[in-house]
Amino acid sequence: MYGHDAFGAAWRATGGMSTEGAGQARRAISQAEELEARCNRLAILCEAMWTLLRDQLQLTDEQLLDRINEIDLTDGRLDGRVERGSAIVCHSCNRRVARKFAKCMYCGEPLAHDPFA
């Protein structure tokens, strides 16, 4: 007698979420679940690659952490993010350095800035 649709119609009639709003909410939840699944797959892939490299090349976790920090700092901030467009490659040591620096922070080489960039 009072099926699911009837309840939903009554809820909407009293000012509840519209059908369109409910659809947007379902799509947002679905997209969030898909992103979470992709993050989990990437985490597994990263761990597999790291453990293979570490074991095959006798690397250490400290070396990995140093490289993570080095990459993080390429935009001039240690914040867990990298703004790719803000870095340039040093012609001397081939490391990525924040565009805002006049000299490479690793080797001291003056950086060649593209005047049109």
Q: Is the Cβ of residue 12 or residue 99 nearer to Zn ion in the bound state?
A: 99
Rule CB under 5 A: is residue 92 a binding residue for Zn ion?
Answer: yes
Rule CB under 5 A: is residue 109 a binding residue for Zn ion?
Answer: yes
Which of helix, strand or coil describes residue 17?
coil
Rule CB under 5 A: is residue 59 a binding residue for Zn ion?
Answer: no
Partners of 98 in beta bridges: 87
CB of 57 to Zn ion, least distance (A): 23
Which of helix, strand or coil describes residue 103?
strand
Burial of 87 (0-12, 13-18, 19+ CB in 10 A): buried
Specify the DSSP class assigned to residue 111. P
How many residues belong to the site for Zn ion (CB under 5 A)?
7
**Site residues (CB under 5 A) for Zn ion?**
90, 92-93, 104, 106-107, 109
